[in-house]
Amino acid sequence: MRKKIFNNMCLLALVTILLSSLLITFVYYGNSDARMKAEVREEARYIRGAVELSGKDYLETVKNTPNRITLIDTDGTVLFDNQADPAAMENHSDRQEVKQAVTAGAGEATRMSGTLSEKKFYYAIKLENGQILRIASETASVFAAVLSMLPWIIGIAVLVAVITVLFSNFLTKKIVTPINRLDLNHPADNVVYDELSPLLSKINRQNEVIDQQIRSLREKQEEFTSITENMSEGFLVLDKNTDILSYNTSALRLLGADAAPAESHESALALNRSAGFRSAVDAALSGSRSEQLVRQGGRCCQVMANPVLREGEVEGAVVVILDITEREERDNLRREFTANVSHELKTPLTSISGFAEIIQNGIVKPEDIPRFAGNIYVESQRLISLVDDILNLSRLDEADVQLEREDFDLAALARDVAGRLKDSAKKNGVVITVIGDKTMINGVKSIVDEMLYNLLDNAVKYNKKNGRVTVTIENDQNGPTLAVTDTGIGIPQSDVDRVFERFYRVDKSHSKEVGGTGLGLSIVKHGAAFHNAKVSLESTEGKGTTVRLAFPN
Ligand code: ADP
């Protein structure tokens, strides 16, 4: 801008200098030319008077004047010339000014000299005797006048150029400084030249439009972020160079990324270095959908990568990551459970089939048949309780199980269960005592009944001869609790954490002996979870066990 102002000012100054110099030269030249001509005419008239009065000899007295004086005879012969020898001069009758003077009494002409810089003005006047008196004056030509002005013009031009540089600097600064200080975020608050007002109000309007657009973009972005941030699934949007365009924190967590990607584009492959993740991303960026399993920090994730296409070209990929650890664990448990169930069912069935086969073959003596039938009965009872337990467990496994909840007295239910177990307790000399007042809870009575039955059954089964089982029901500010304490064989510390697993038994043969299935405490655990109750177990080997159920308030 400074350069432009300088150039324009320079051009303007130069044109002005040139035009004004030429104008002055021409006006000045015109004036002095006219004055010179008038003087020549005046001088001619004066000399004519003197010559007519004193004759040709008068000319000898004015011989040394700077102007050239020539006296020409009527036939054109030069009679006198103060600057040349008249005899050597040619006939002047054809000179323009002479011809005019002959016919009109006076004539004048201007002719250039040998060089362009000089010109001559001739004025001829007719004497009374017909002779012609001619005065010639030499002056500088216009060209010479212009030429003589040239150094001045150049000098002034240089001076003007210097002034222009200084002035243009000053002017540019003066114009530019307020523009530089403009607050374009608040254009209406600026006080500058009136000429800028339309521009500022236009910027103001555009700022409002941009603000509006930014607001709506931000709202959309926040909406999108809050949707993706609340997803437990990981979500990544990549461009075709695998650079991350968008992500949620679940994606970083599931992929085990140490830190959030930097502001500048970072490759998604830096988030997880596993071959599975890379192959899913590569496949999506090659245009095909891919699903891969990625194991990371003890968790298992399913990575689903889909290509993003625009006009048939792959523009990037959208990657969704699901944590399927629990699903995998459930599947494993189910597989394990099925294998265990088959095994547990097969054992009594094999015994039953064996006993039946022996009887069928007639190998058994008639007096032994009741004993064999008794064995078959015991094994089928085991089979029945096993199937019952499996059914109970799978009933609890159904997440959407629609069982009717009701309010009932926990203490009354415990007494009822204790009553049902009285006979088997008696057989072992075990005494069951239920302590506690009416304590109402809300739940599925049949499930709680099953839980209490299993706990009391265990307390009796794994008790010592003449042992005791105490059921204590309490209700404090934390909610109703039920504790089953026995004075039995106890559980080794190393097994305490595992007894709630399906089919886990501390002593398999003892459990079998007392009719255990290995599913009792699993049923208790699942029943407690169904009622949002907490189960805890404390045991001292050889002394006894306490299992506590804490129901929510
Ligand atoms: P089971 O049908 O074999 O009793 P449970 O799941 O009820 O199966 O119990 C798992 C194992 O925990 C039992 O086999 C037994 O070894 C141990 N157990 C459970 N309750 C008691 C208890 N009150 N005293 C000692 N051991 C117990």
The 3-class SS string of 436-488 reads CCCCEEEECHHHHHHHHHHHHHHHHHCCCCCCEEEEEEEEECCEEEEEEEECC
Task: Say which amino acid occupies 539.
Answer: S
* Sign of the dihedral through C-alpha 342, 344, 347, 349: negative
Ligand 1: which atom is nearest the Cα of residue 459? 23
What is the residue type of 532? N
The pLDDT of residue 499: 95
Task: Tell which atom from ligand 1 comes closest to the C-alpha of 507.
Answer: 16
Residue type, position 336, single letter: E
Please give the distance, rounded to the nearest whole angstrom, from the Cα atom of residue 445 to the centre of ligand 1: 23
Give the chain's radius of gyration (CA, Å): 64
pLDDT digits 0-9 by tens, 464-511 = 999 999 999 999 899 999 999 999 999 999 999 999 998 899 988 888
Distance 508 CA to ligand 1 centre (A): 10
Among 384, 455, 462, 464, the mutation site with the greatest number of ligand 1 atoms within 8 A of its Cβ is 462
Residue 537 is predicted with a pLDDT of 97
Ligand 1 atom 23: the closest Cα is on which residue?
A: 459
- Separation of CA 430 and ligand 1 centre (Å): 17
Pocket test for ligand 1, best of 383, 456, 491 (most atoms within 8 A of CB): 491
d(CA 247, CA 235): 6
End-to-end distance of the chain based on CA atoms, in angstroms?
81
Ligand 1 mutation target, pool 453, 463, 493, 521, most atoms within 8 A of CB:
521
Which residue has its alpha carbon closest to ligand 1 atom 13? 505
pLDDT band at 433 (very low <50, low <70, confident <90, very high): very high
Statement: residue 454 has pLDDT above 70: yes
Nearest to 79 by CA among 138, 45, 129, 123: 129
Q: Residues near ligand 1 with C-beta < 6 Å?
A: 454, 458-459, 462, 486, 488-491, 499, 504-507, 511, 516-522, 545
Task: Kindly tell me if the per-residue pLDDT of 53 is higher than 70.
Answer: yes
Residue of higher predicted confidence among 29 and 311: 311
**3-class DSSP assignment, residue 5:** helix
Closest ligand 1 atom, CA of 488?
24
Q: Is the pLDDT reported for residue 397 higher than 80?
A: no
Ligand 1 center from residue 441 Cα (angstroms)? 26
Nearest residue to 505 via CA among 344, 395, 346, 393: 344
Q: How far apart are CA 121 and CA 295, in angstroms?
A: 115
Among 11-15, 218-222, 348-352, the range scoring the smallest mean pLDDT is 11-15
pTM > 0.75: yes or no: no
CA 431 to ligand 1 centroid distance, Å: 19
pLDDT digits (tens, 9 = 90+) for 85-135: 999 999 999 999 999 999 999 999 998 866 567 789 999 999 999 999 999
Quote the ligand 1 centre to 282 CA distance (angstroms): 53
Candidate from 421, 469, 511 with most ligand 1 atoms within 8 A of CB, to mutate:
511
Question: Which of 119-123, 146-150, 288-292, 435-439 is least confident?
Answer: 146-150
From the CA of 505, give the closest atom in ligand 1. Answer: 14
| pLDDT surpasses 70 at 279 | yes
**DSSP category for residue 73:** -
Mutation to probe ligand 1, out of 387, 496, 505 (largest number of atoms < 8 A from CB): 505
pLDDT in tens, 291-306: 999 998 889 999 999 9
| pLDDT confidence tier of residue 263, bands split at 50, 70 and 90 | low
Give the number of the atom of ligand 1 that is nearest the alpha carbon of residue 518: 8
- Closest approach atom of ligand 1 to CA 506: 16
pLDDT reported for residue 180? 84
User: In this model, does residue 280 exceed pLDDT 60?
Assistant: yes
CA of 541 to the centre of ligand 1 (A): 13
pLDDT at 161 > cutoff 60: yes
Say yes or no to pLDDT of 401 above 60.
no
Residue 457 CA to ligand 1 center (angstroms) comes to: 9
Task: Return d(Cα 218, Cα 229) in angstroms, integer.
Answer: 15
CA-nearest of 268, 273, 226 to 245 is: 268
505: CA distance to ligand 1 center in Å? 6
